[in-house]
């Protein structure tokens, strides 16, 4: 089998993975909007499961009224070391079709060098009704991925060889 045929097979397999192609056309993504700015103030409101959830007032620097974005319970943010404080510069992806405060899908704190997903695309929070974080790592548990774990165990043909996966070889 040639490398070309191998890649064709890979592409065929890729297409077979459930919803891989559909994912890019996910209608839920059309409601997402990216906001960036400085946190002017923080407050707590009753959020999902009636837990107090942090709301950040975001100054986007364009003279518009600050955007209110619904983050997560303060304890959850502390647990995953994703703290947000007044003065921090953050970037958020929000569900923009809702009224304010916009629920945040993903949060990046540029000031503190942290980032995590807070809700699924179905807008389900990644913490339990008791406030326990259930979202795993930034990309879920370390898996097989090309960088999910040290290269030594990455997909390499177990008989030998290599890769950040394995060798194209034997």
Partner 1 sequence: MNLHPSSRDRARVFALVAACGLGGAAPALAGGPELTLIAGASAASLDAAPDSELSWGAARLAWGDRLQLRAEIAWLDAEGEGSLAPPGLGPVAPVRRGKGPGGNGSGPGSEAAGSTLGASTGEATEPASPAAEVRGWGDLRLGAAYRLAGGGARLYRIDLGAAVKLPTADEQERLGTGELDARIGLSGEYRFWSLTLFGGAGFNHFGEPAGAAFDDVLDAYLGVESQPIADRILLSGWLEGHPEVVEGGGAYSALGVGLRTLGSVRFELQGRTGLGDTEGDWSLSFGVSFGLRPPGAGPSGVRR
Nearest-angstrom CA–CA distance, 106 and 4 = 38
- Does 24 interact with partner 1 (rule: CB under 8 A)? yes
- Does 124 interact with partner 1 (rule: CB under 8 A)? yes
Stretch that binds partner 1, among 5-13, 50-58, 60-68, 94-102 (CB under 8 A): 5-13
Per-residue binding letters, 33-72, with partner 1 (x by CB under 8 A): ----------------------------------------
Stretch that binds partner 1, among 16-24, 54-62, 65-73, 94-102 (CB under 8 A): 16-24
- Does 7 interact with partner 1 (rule: CB under 8 A)? yes
| 114: its two tokens | 């942290």
- Which residues 131-170 are close enough to bind partner 1 by CB under 8 A? 133-170
Closest to 90 in 3D by CA, of 119, 63, 58? 58
How far CA 33 is from CA of 36, 67, 71, 78, 106, in Å, comes to 10, 12, 15, 25, 11
Beta bridge partners of 69: 56, 102
């Amino acid at each position: 089998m040639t490398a070309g045929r191998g890649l064709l097979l890979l592409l065929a397999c890729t297409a077979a993975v459930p919803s891989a192609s559909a994912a890019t056309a996910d209608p839920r993504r059309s409601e997402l909007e990216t906001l960036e700015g400085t946190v002017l103030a923080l407050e707590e409101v009753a959020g999902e499961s009636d837990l107090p959830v942090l709301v950040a007032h975001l100054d986007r620097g364009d003279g518009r009224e600050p955007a209110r974005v619904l983050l997560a319970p303060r304890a959850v943010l502390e647990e995953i070391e994703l703290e947000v404080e007044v003065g921090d510069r953050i970037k958020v992806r929000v569900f923009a079709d809702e009224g304010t405060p916009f629920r945040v899908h993903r949060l990046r704190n540029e000031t503190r060098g942290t980032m995590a997903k807070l809700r699924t695309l179905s807008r389900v929070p990644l913490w339990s009704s008791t406030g326990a974080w259930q979202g795993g790592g930034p990309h879920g548990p370390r898996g097989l991925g090309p960088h999910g774990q040290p290269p030594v165990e990455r997909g390499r043909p177990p008989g030998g060889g290599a890769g950040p996966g394995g060798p194209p070889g034997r």
